[in-house]
Amino acid sequence: MSSALRVFSGATPASRLLPYKRPTTSRFKNPIAQYRPFSISWRQAMLSTELSEAEVSALRANKDRLARDLHHSCQWGYGIRWGDGPTDTGMQRLSLSEEDKKVRDWFIETTKSLKCNVTVDEMGNIFAVRPGRRKDVPPTFIGSHLDTQPTGGRYDGILGVLSGIEALKVIDEMGLETEGGVGVVNWTNEEGARFPISMVSSGVWAESIPLEKAHNLKEVPTVASLPTAASAPETMRSALEKINYVGSVPCSYKHSPMAAHFELHIEQGPHLVSAGQRVGVVTAVQAYRWYRLNINGRDSHTGTTAFEHRADALYAFARMMVCAREVAASHGGLASVGIIEAKPGSVNTVPGLVSFSLDVRGPKTETVSAIEAQLKKEFDAIAADEGKGIGKPCRVEWILDFDSPAVNFHKDCIDCVQSSADAVVADAGPDPKSLVRTIMSGAGHDSVYTSKRVPTSMIFVPCKDGLSHHPEEFSSAEDCATGASVILQAVIRYDRKRFTA
C-alpha cells in the first residue's frame, strides 16, 4: 500500500485500501510496439503501469502547444504592457473577477473535451479528473491557480494549471490509461491579493481554514482595478455567487480526495536562473506569517505642530519599516510591507492612524518566531518614542492574519520529481545532473495546504531575473515545457509507484 493511500485512511472506506491485485488478463497487449518517443500518437490505449522506465523517461510535453494554450488563457485579464510582442503584457486577473470567470469557463470546457469529469466545490475550486482504470481510488492531481496579482505576470500559477492541461493532452493523445485517475485542480484566490488570505481555498479544502471565515473575507480596498472594493467591498461568497462559481461539493479533502498533489511553478527567485540550472526539485517551503499592524498616534497640523509635539503614526511606521529589514536580515529572514494606509490622508494633517501589512519569512518556523519577538520589542520602543513629548505616545497593535509553518514535502513525491527531472534533462549537455537541484520555496503555494493531507511536492523552473509579481515576469517556452514534462512524468511515476509496489 502506498503512503498516498494511507493518508486517506481516516476518510476512505477500508475496502479501498486493500492492496490492489492486478487483473490476470489485459486487453492492452504489447502496446509499446506502437510507441515512438516524442510521438504524439499511439495507436492503441496502453496502461501506465505497463510502461518501461525508458518509456516513462521519454514522455514529453509539447512545448509549442503549451505556450499557445498558456498565452491563449492570458487573453482574459491581461495587464500592463512592457514590450512590443503580442504576449509582452503582464496579467491582472484578480480572483473571482469577470476575467477569472472567463478563464474558469475555458478551463472547464477544455478539460471536459479531454474526457474529464469536472466538479466545483463551495470555494469555487475546480477539479477536473480524467478517470483511471480503477474507480475506487483517488486521483493523482496536478494543481495551481489561475488568479494573479494586480500587477502580476503570465506564469505565476498559470503555468501550473496549464502544465496540468498539457499533461492531460499528452496522456489523451497517447491513449495512455492510468491506474488511478489524473486530475487537474484550479485553486481559488491563491494569491490572496483580492481576498486577503493567500491559498485560502486549498486551506479550506485541507480543513485548516473554516469555510465561513473564507466566505466572509472582504476584498482589499487597495486593489484599484475593482471599483467596488472601496465603496461596497464584495465578500468571497458574494463574489463567488456573482460569477456563479459556488459549487455544490463541500470544500474538503474528504469530498474531493487526492492521492497526491504535484505543482509546477516558476521559481520566483534568482537561484536557478543565475546558476543556469533547469529544474528545482522543491523539498520544502519556508515559514511565514502575515500580520496587520495598526499604529495609533494623534492627528495634528503639519504647519503648527513641532516635531516634539507630534505623535506622527506615519513617522513611527517609517522607523518601523527601516528597523524591520535590519532585524529580519540579522536572523536570515525577510520582512516586507505590501499594503499601507495612513489616515486621515490630508497633505497638511499629520496622520494619527496608520495600518499596514507585514510579511515575515524564514527558513524555519523558529526563525519567524524570533523575528516577530524582536520586532514586537523594537516597534513598541519606536511607538513609545513618538509622542512622548506630549505624554501621548503612539501605540502599536499586531493582528496575526496568517501563519504558515515551514513545510517539508513528501519523500515519495520528491523522489518522483527527482527521477523525472533527471530524465527530462538527461540529454542536455555534458553534466545533466548539474542542471537539477533541490531547492526550498520562499513563497507559499497551494501545495503547502495539500501537503497537510496528501503527499505533495513541487517543481520549479527558472524565470527571468528571478522576478515575479511583476508584469515582466517571464519564463521561456522551453523552460515551461521542461517543467511540464517533469510534472507529466512525475504523475505517471507516482501512479506506477502506487500500483506496482
270 binds a copy of itself (CB under 8 A): yes
Three-class secondary structure of residue 342 per DSSP:
strand
294 binds a copy of itself (CB under 8 A): no
364 binds a copy of itself (CB under 8 A): no
Supply the minimum distance, in Å, between the C-beta of residue 439 and a copy of itself. Answer: 11
Q: Among 29, 81, 112, 325, which residue interacts with a copy of itself (rule: CB under 8 A)?
A: 325
Selected range binding a copy of itself among 21-29, 116-124, 167-175, 328-336, rule: CB under 8 A:
328-336
Sign, CA torsion 266/429/421/53 = positive
Q: Among 218, 319, 364, 395, which residue interacts with a copy of itself (rule: CB under 8 A)?
A: 319
467 binds a copy of itself (CB under 8 A): yes
Cβ neighbours of 478 (radius 10 Å): 12
Site for a copy of itself in 224-243 (CB under 8 A): 224, 227, 229-231
Supply the minimum distance, in Å, between the C-beta of residue 321 and a copy of itself. Answer: 4
Residues 6+ apart with CB under 8 A from 43: 34, 175
Question: Do residues 151 and 79 touch, judged by C-beta distance below 8 A?
Answer: yes
Q: Among 17, 32, 249, 390, which residue interacts with a copy of itself (rule: CB under 8 A)?
A: 390
315 binds a copy of itself (CB under 8 A): yes
Three-class secondary structure of residue 345 per DSSP:
coil
Residues 6+ apart with CB under 8 A from 444: 198, 199, 285, 288, 404
34 binds a copy of itself (CB under 8 A): no
Supply the minimum distance, in Å, between the C-beta of residue 361 and a copy of itself. Answer: 5
How many chain residues bind a copy of itself (CB under 8 A)?
Answer: 80
288 binds a copy of itself (CB under 8 A): yes
Q: Among 322, 381, 399, 400, which residue interacts with a copy of itself (rule: CB under 8 A)?
A: 322
Selected range binding a copy of itself among 31-39, 54-62, 262-270, 484-492, rule: CB under 8 A:
262-270
φ, ψ for residue 296 (rounded to 5)?
-105, 120
C-alpha span between 479 and 461 (Å, rounded): 6
307 binds a copy of itself (CB under 8 A): yes
Closest CA to 402 of 304, 291, 277, 246: 291
* Residue at 190: amino acid letter: E
C-alpha span between 150 and 191 (Å, rounded): 10
375 binds a copy of itself (CB under 8 A): no
379 binds a copy of itself (CB under 8 A): no
Supply the minimum distance, in Å, between the C-beta of residue 431 and a copy of itself. Answer: 26
Supply the minimum distance, in Å, between the C-beta of residue 71 and a copy of itself. Answer: 21
Per residue, what are the HEC states of 46-110? EEHHHCCHHHHHCCCCCHHHHHHHHHHHCCCCEEEECCCCCCCEEECCCCCCHHHHHHHHHHHHH
Strand partners for 301: 349
| Residue 252 to residues 120, 124, 457, Cα–Cα distance (Å) | 11, 12, 20
Selected range binding a copy of itself among 52-60, 67-75, 134-142, 292-300, rule: CB under 8 A:
292-300
384 binds a copy of itself (CB under 8 A): no
Site for a copy of itself in 147-166 (CB under 8 A): 149-151
Per residue, what are the HEC states of 115-133? CCEEEEECCCCEEEEECCC
Site for a copy of itself in 403-462 (CB under 8 A): 441-444
Q: Among 175, 338, 363, 405, which residue interacts with a copy of itself (rule: CB under 8 A)?
A: 338
Q: Among 63, 154, 278, 361, which residue interacts with a copy of itself (rule: CB under 8 A)?
A: 361
Q: Among 19, 23, 345, 430, which residue interacts with a copy of itself (rule: CB under 8 A)?
A: 345
φ, ψ for residue 176 (rounded to 5)?
-80, 130
Beta carbon nearer to a copy of itself, 35 or 315: 315
Q: Which three cell numbers stand for residue 127?
A: 477539479
Question: Do residues 396 and 380 touch, judged by C-beta distance below 8 A?
Answer: yes
Selected range binding a copy of itself among 32-40, 138-146, 185-193, 408-416, rule: CB under 8 A:
185-193
312 binds a copy of itself (CB under 8 A): yes
